[in-house]
Amino acid sequence: MFLSSSSKALNSDLDLADAIKGSGSASGIPNAEALIAFTEAVHRRDSNLVQARAKLIDEVGVGGMVDAATTISIFRSLNIAADSSGIRLDDEWTDIAARLAKQTQADHFRTAINSMPIDGN
């Protein structure tokens, strides 16, 4: 949701489905493939994290990699804090999150088991 909101604020034409599914080439995000690979490696603690980080540094520099790592940690900490606190989303946000998860197929990620079931609508 944050990504879609920030994209609108920047008047950016972002295809969230492409960004989430890992097909960065059509997403409209510069260096998308390297950013997605780095993000996936960080979240999954994959053995290719060192290579993904090096590739990202090659493409966006050390500062860009640090910015990406900071952004990843912020998003991850927001999810962890919300999950652990038991905060209930209001119905409007629940519906928006469910639609976004289906649109981007984020409901297929392993971590989806930690979220409320998504209605089949």
71 is a domain residue: yes
121 is a domain residue: no
Residue 111: what pLDDT? 62
10 is a domain residue: yes
Scanning the structure block, which residue is given the tokens 């519906």?
A: 95
Q: What would the two tokens of residue 42 be?
A: 């960080």
Give the pLDDT confidence of 54-101 residue by residue, as tens digits.
Answer: 999 999 999 999 999 999 999 888 877 877 887 776 777 777 777 877
103 is a domain residue: yes
> What is the spatial distance between Cα 25 and Cα 10, in angstroms, rounded to a whole number?
20
How many structural domains compose the chain? 1
120 is a domain residue: no
38 is a domain residue: yes
Range(s) of the domain holding residue 10: 2-114
119 is a domain residue: no
DSSP H or E segment with residue 114: none
pTM to 2 decimal places? 0.59
15 is a domain residue: yes
CB 25 within 8 Å of CB 36:
no
pLDDT band at 8 (very low <50, low <70, confident <90, very high): low
